[in-house]
Structure 1
Amino acid sequence: MKIAGQRIEPFLSAADPAVRCVLLFGPDVGLVRERADTLAAGVVPDLADPFLVTVLTAAQLKGDVTRLVDEAMALSLTGGERVIRVRDASDVLTPVFKDLLGETRKHSLVVVEAGDLPTRSSLRKLFEQTDTGAVIGCYPDDGRGLEDIIRETLGGYGLSPAADALSFLTSSFGGDRMVVRRELEKLALYVGGGSGATGVVKLADVVDCVGDSAKLSLETIAYAAADGDQVGLDRALERAVLEGISPVAVLREVQRHLQRLHLAAAQVAVGKSSDQAVSGLRPPVIFKFKDQFQRQIRGWSPRRLNGALEILSESEIACKSSGTPDIPVCGRTLMRVAQLARAR
């Protein structure tokens, strides 16, 4: 059976006893592992107990097709329920799990971790089509979901993020739940969270502890180019080169910024206020850049945005061409974008 949407969290906290095998898959490896831990912790008191938890890999099962059923049927030497964890699963193991899911005898809970399986995956289809197995997709948090994770994790340390800090964190984090949790825990310790704490995490704390200097450099370039600030742009580009940031990464960040301006401007054109248009963007605009972003919406016309995006696309192709001096090409291109920004 397939477990999705609002059914996922209730299932993880109190899994259906009739389901004895759960497949967790998706591009967010950290979320796959976190949900696997949650399921296992609902059955055994200690995930590190070798008598209660057995960890198997795909390589081990490929070489011994009966091992999974044998392990699932085995009783604990110390009494109580057991959990079998299978990692790095793929379609190669479909026959192995077909045998297990066909078992009528009660067995230990089997928690399976896999990568991003496509819809045509035979392993995924097998779990979706049986009543004794369940499959849960694990995809990167974004928007409101990521904000909830940030608030929940910091809240566990007695901390809450300020609005601009929350906005920065939401736009900075990538798509791995485990990495997000680790970074937030590091931030909480830096701020001084803990038993009895009731503090507020400020933007300065986030930039000092979690802030990605490369990302900050890229955003500075994008805003300077879209503002037509040639002096600031030249200074930011020089810093990016010293930090070793790829010219292609710079061009893509500016393209992304102009595309977001285009999207917000389209929302304004159909009657929304600039504040509503900016608030609806995901990931959200960092709080301290919000006024600047709104000014840029008003300053750029759709025609000039299209022209700038075309220039950036052509420049990226040129930078990828063998023998092309990519740093000068990138610099000239962004100066052209800045000139378009000033031609209002």
Structure 2
Amino acid sequence: MRLAPARIAAFLQRPDPEIRAVLLYGPDEGLVRERAELVARSVCPDLKDPFRVADLTAAGLAADPARLADEAAQLSLAGGRRVVRVLGAGDALAKLFSGFLESTPGDALVVVEAGELPSRSALRRAFEAARSAVAIGCYPDRPRELAAVIRETLAAHRVSASRDAGQFLVEHLGGDRLLTRSELEKLALYAGEGGRVELEDARLSVSDTAALELDDAVMAAADGDPARVERVLGRVFQQGESPVSIIRALLRHLHRLHVLTARLARGASVDEVLRTARPPIF
């Protein structure tokens, strides 16, 4: 079934015990991961517990589909309900999950993470149609939601922000929930407990973030990943970067790859090329 936005927060903290599987999908990968971990921890606080948590991948299930039901039906040796986490799911697993949701063996909570899924997605439809499952879309924070995330994260460190700093952060963050929280954690650490973030502090932090986003866009293009390029470019443009700066960054990256490849062609070893590259790669 689909969950109304107003019910999402309460559900993630205390999911209905009748729900056996949760699909989290959408363009905000950070929010997908944050919500997936939140609902999983409501069942098992320690997600590294090998007796109560099983981590599966889409590729692993494609090779061994039976493992989904096996893990869901398995009992914990230490007691307590188990969690089965599935990463990188897509429509290729729709048939598997459709069958699983009809029988739902065992009592484990299955938490599935996926990227952006259109309304016609077979995987999304399978979860929306099942009474024992929930599908939750994860989209970039709107200004009001982002302002709340900023206040909440800074307040956890007893840090406040000036009105101008808060507005600047709202305008320049929000493309990815985990990245947003990471930047706010960095700001809070800089300000110190009981400190205050001013506009200049926010500007310096976001400028660093923009550079990282630009690098991410370039790497996605070089990897030939158009979906990732589209997602990251949206955040890059949101932070004020121009198309010209993006093209220049890509050309610099490709030129560097050309130079490094030429050295390999002339007989240099990979270790030597990586060690002597300037600026350093690692």
- Which amino acid in the other structure matches residue 100 of structure 1? F
Distance in 2 separating the partners of 1:29 and 1:113: 9
Give the gaps of 5 or more residues in structure 2: 212-240, 247-282
Deviating 4+ runs (over 4 angstroms): 212-215
Q: Is the 8 A contact 1:4 1:137 kept in 2?
A: no
TM-score (normalizing by structure 1): 0.60
Distance in 2 separating the partners of 1:117 and 1:134: 14
Name the residue aligned to 2:159. 159
Q: What is the CA distance between 1:211 and its match in structure 2?
A: 3.4
Distance in 1 separating the partners of 2:137 and 2:210: 31
| Residues 175 and 213 (structure 1), Cα distance of their counterparts in 2 relative to 1, 3 Å cut | closer
- Which amino acid in the other structure matches residue 89 of structure 1? A
Partner SS state of residue 131, structure 1: coil
- Which amino acid in the other structure matches residue 30 of structure 1? G
**C-alpha deviations, 1:111-140, integer Å up to 9, x for none?**
000000011000000110111010000000
Distance in 1 separating the partners of 2:2 and 2:243: 43
Distance in 1 separating the partners of 2:243 and 2:128: 44
Name the residue aligned to 2:10. 10
| Residues 181 and 125 (structure 1), Cα distance of their counterparts in 2 relative to 1, 3 Å cut | same
Name the residue aligned to 2:198. 202
Identity in percent: 53
Q: Is the 8 A contact 1:86 1:110 kept in 2?
A: yes
Distance in 2 separating the partners of 1:180 and 1:141: 10
Q: What is the CA distance between 1:54 and its match in structure 2?
A: 0.6
Distance in 1 separating the partners of 2:106 and 2:34: 26
Q: What is the CA distance between 1:171 and its match in structure 2?
A: 1.1
> Alpha carbon RMSD of aligned pairs, Å?
1.8
**C-alpha deviations, 1:291-328, integer Å up to 9, x for none?**
xxxxxxxxxxxxxxxxxxxxxxxxxxxxxxxxxxxxxx
Distance in 2 separating the partners of 1:174 and 1:155: 18
1:1-344 matches, within 5 Å, as 1-103=1-103, 105-193=105-193, 197=194, 199-212=195-208, 248=244
| Residues 165 and 50 (structure 1), Cα distance of their counterparts in 2 relative to 1, 3 Å cut | same
TM-score (normalizing by structure 2): 0.73
Distance in 2 separating the partners of 1:43 and 1:133: 16
- Which amino acid in the other structure matches residue 117 of structure 2? L
Higher-Rg structure is 1
Q: Is the 8 A contact 2:25 2:138 kept in 1?
A: yes
**C-alpha deviations, 1:63-115, integer Å up to 9, x for none?**
11111001100011211111000000001101111121111544200000000
Q: What is the CA distance between 1:173 and its match in structure 2?
A: 1.1
